[in-house]
Amino acid sequence: MLYRESGDFSSTYPQDSQTFPIKFDRYRYYFVLFIAIAVIPFIINDYWVNSLFLPFLIYAIAAIGLNILVGYCGQVSLGTGGFMAVGAYACYKLMTSFPDISMLVHVLLSGLITAAVGVLFGLPSLRIKGFYLAVATLAAQFFLVWLFNRVPWFYNYSASGQISAPERTFFGINITGANTQAWATYLFCLMFVIFSAYIARNLTRGSVGRKWMAIRDMDIAAEIIGVNPLRAKLTAFAVSSFFVGISGALFFSIYLGAVEVGEVFGIQKSFLVLFMIIIGGLGSIFGSFAGAAFLVLLPVVLKIVGVDWLGWPTDIVAHLQLVIVGGLIIVFLIAEPHGLAQLWRVAKEKLRLWPFPH
């Protein structure tokens, strides 16, 4: 009753393969977009932007990126933090070297630079699989963080070893530095989220996505139908790193403003994004959003419930969060390996027949 598809018929192939084949879904999607673009910017304040919206949007981009590599192409990566750092440092170098060029260009270029680095570290994937590849990407993680710590050129020889974002504007409005408007930073990130999700969706539904999924499901069979494994894996690494790089650039320049690489882009960041896509759903764009939302919301909700309502000490709540996330990972891996996205899919299938399931 809530959810019906009767009367929805597609008579052409494009209609049949569109992202939201059911009218109800389509309109809900437009509605969400409308709220995100035209309503939220007017009602948010600094607190909401910094504690919820910015991390959610930026992690969503990172999760989409990692999901392409792990969920669609089946290449496990633990180097997300390192690649985010590449995006952040690329953005920093570009911002300080070319102050007059638009932030839009800088962020996109950071993505492209990270894509190139990602391809480089993706080369071992042609030889090694699974666990061993994960270890190789782990090496990338530690190497990149070490590099940005040790080579002063990357942080412009600053005394603290940190990088901090100078003030930059976008269409005359401050989006980085000290004097930013909540709605401006939100919209700037939202723009990249929509851009990333749109590209990711298009790539995963077409021939490129099928090549990735073929490699993921059975690489020998993929080869026999004419997929060049080298190109398929490297494009996955490139596209994935492109998104991860964009998210790293935004994380540094828009969200944090100042970054100490080992602290922000350490191995924890890699795990956090990996947890997002495991909980959200491997091989699903929606899952990337769901996972990012879940892991960004969880600490906030726990803090409100635990500290503000129940009056527990802050450190206990912080530890409780680790316990809950760890437990959830195990539960999801055993009970629902396809994550929140699959739960959502099952719920939709049930609702389709509700209230007469037989």
* Interaction site with other proteins (CB under 8 A): 12-14, 17, 199, 202-203, 205-208, 210-211, 213-214, 216-218, 220-229, 235, 239, 283
Nearer to other proteins, 135 or 218 (CB): 218
Q: Is the CB of 205 or the CB of 352 nearer to other proteins?
A: 205
Task: Compare residues 96 and 202 and give the one whose CB is closer to other proteins.
Answer: 202
Least distance (Å) between residue 324 CB and other proteins: 29
Could you tell me the smallest distance in angstroms from the CB atom of residue 204 to other proteins? 10
Rounded Cα distance between 67 and 339, Å, is: 12
Question: Which one, 172 or 226, has the nearer CB to other proteins?
Answer: 226
Helix, strand and coil in the chain, % to nearest 5: 75, 0, 25
CB 71 within 8 A of CB 284: yes
We find the least distance from the C-beta atom of residue 227 to other proteins, in angstroms, to be: 6
Are 289 and 60 in contact by the 8 Å Cβ rule? The answer is yes
Q: How far apart are CA 343 and CA 340, in angstroms?
A: 5
**Which of residues 15 and 97 has its CB atom nearest to other proteins in the complex?**
15
Nearer Cβ to other proteins, position 75 or 164?
75
The minimum distance between CB 205 and other proteins, in angstroms, equals 8
Contact 167, 177 (CB under 8 A): yes
Question: What sign has the CA pseudo-torsion 101, 106, 107, 111?
Answer: positive
Task: State which residue, 142 or 286, has the beta carbon closest to other proteins.
Answer: 286
Please, what is the minimum distance in Å from the beta carbon of residue 186 to other proteins?
Answer: 25
In angstroms, what is the minimal distance from the CB of 338 to other proteins? 10
Q: DSSP label at 356?
A: -
Strands (E) in 122-234, as ranges, are: 163-164, 169-170, 173-174
Q: Which letter, b or e, does each residue of 115-133 get, where b requires 16 or more Cβ atoms within 10 Å of its Cβ?
A: bebbbebbebbeeeeeeeb
CA-based R_g, the chain, Å? 21
- As measured in angstroms, the least distance from the Cβ of 164 to other proteins is 33
Give the three-class secondary structure for 109.
Answer: helix
Of 129 and 205, the one with the shorter C-beta distance to other proteins is: 205
| Residue whose CB is less far from other proteins, 166 or 206 | 206
Q: How far apart are CA 255 and CA 250, in angstroms?
A: 7
Q: Checking phi first, is residue 172 left (phi over 0); if not, alpha (psi -120 to 50) or beta? A: left
CA count, 13 A, side-chain hemisphere, 53: 22
Return the ∠ at Cα 179 (arms to 174 and 308), rounded to 5°: 120
Nearest distance in Å: CB 235, other proteins: 6
Q: How far is the CB of 285 from other proteins (least distance, A)?
A: 13
